[in-house]
Amino acid sequence: MLTAPVHQLRPPPHVVVVGNEKGGSGKTTIAMHVAVALLKAGQRVATVDLDGRQRTLTHYVESRRGWARRSQVDLELPTHFCIAPVEGVMVAQNEAAECSDFQRAIAAAAQDRHDFVVIDTPPHDSYLMRLAHSITDTLVTPLSDSFVDLDVLASLDPVTLTVTGISHYGELVRETRRHRRPLDGAPIDWVVLRNRISPQRSSTAQVVCGCLQELALNAGFRVVTGFHDRPIYRDLFPRGLTALDELCETVPGIDVDVSRRPACREIEDLIEGLKLPVNDRGRRRVALRAEWFASRDSPLDTDILTGP
């Protein structure tokens, strides 16, 4: 295992890492909605996109900034960083450059007194992904109710479908915890989300849920319900919006009564389930921000939309 050399630079902000070696589990959607929910609670939030090739979270934030500017509306925006992978000939030099870029982003977020850093990781094992896991306070792992997704966490008996061991990603997290403990003693709160839940309750979902509950005791994570498989999450992505944004009621094709309201309840339940240390200072920030925008007669200044 690559041992990340940044433990000693662990930043004051609470670090939320959305990680999973399985693609298609909804990591970026979870990361963006958690970040926006924290922003709406008045927290100073930075986001970091470690998938430098696909850059899905980066596109999400850029679209959100563009919608706010063109629609002349007040949208909360995180301070955003995108860390691109280095693809030189020497592996050690690549990792050193990636570590340096990652450290600068985290240090900038800490220096600017952010309350949270939300990191979206690539869907594969990489040096950057392990760097993020090495400094996480809350690790969020979304999983669909399928045996393919469960495979990244658990080994199953092919006949009885009972858990026989911890799989590759579970071992990665367990090893990260083992390396972390003697360095700063900080615990990692690992939360596994049952995500993209189908409205039809299937026998597979019941078995997967049972396996997760059994594995949680051995692997040391909590199981929390994430998002149902709702079109609203996909439909709002190209506009940079989330189900928490009131102005999404004006977006064509979005049925507020059917889609947005239950999605908002899911997000609220998720934030409550994550048990993040949201501070009370943020409430005053929300009130001051609302007063500032209410007092302006001119079009929105994009500078205030680019920071927390």
Round to whole Å and give the CA distance between 205 and 194: 10
Residue 191 within any structural domain of the chain: no
Choose among 107, 130, 133, 262: nearest CA to 197.
262
Residue-averaged pLDDT of the chain: 86
- Which tens digits make up the pLDDT trace of 143-192? 998 899 999 999 898 999 989 989 999 999 999 998 887 777 778 999 99
* pLDDT at position 141: 96
Question: Cα(15)–Cα(29) distance, rounded to whole angstroms?
Answer: 17
10 Å Cβ neighbour count for 211?
A: 18
Q: Is residue 108 part of a domain?
A: yes
Residues 6 or more apart whose CB falls under 8 angstroms from that of 76 comprise 36, 39, 40, 308
Q: What is the reported pTM?
A: 0.86
Q: Does the residue 184 lie in any domain? A: no
Please, which pLDDT band fits residue 294 given cuts at 50, 70 and 90?
low
Within a domain: 34: yes
Q: Is residue 213 part of a domain?
A: no
- The domain in which residue 91 lies consists of 11-143+222-274
Whichever domain contains 67, its CATH number is: 3.40.50.300
Q: Which of 240, 173, 252 is nearest to 29 (CA)?
A: 240
CB 142 within 8 A of CB 226: yes
Domain membership of residue 103 (yes or no) is yes
Does residue 198 form part of some domain?
no
Domain count for the chain, please give it: 1
**Backbone phi, psi, residue 295, to 5°:** -90, -5
Asked if residue 297 is part of any domain, the answer here is no
The CA–CA distances, whole Å, from 273 to 79, 165, 189, 216, 232 equal: 25, 26, 12, 15, 22
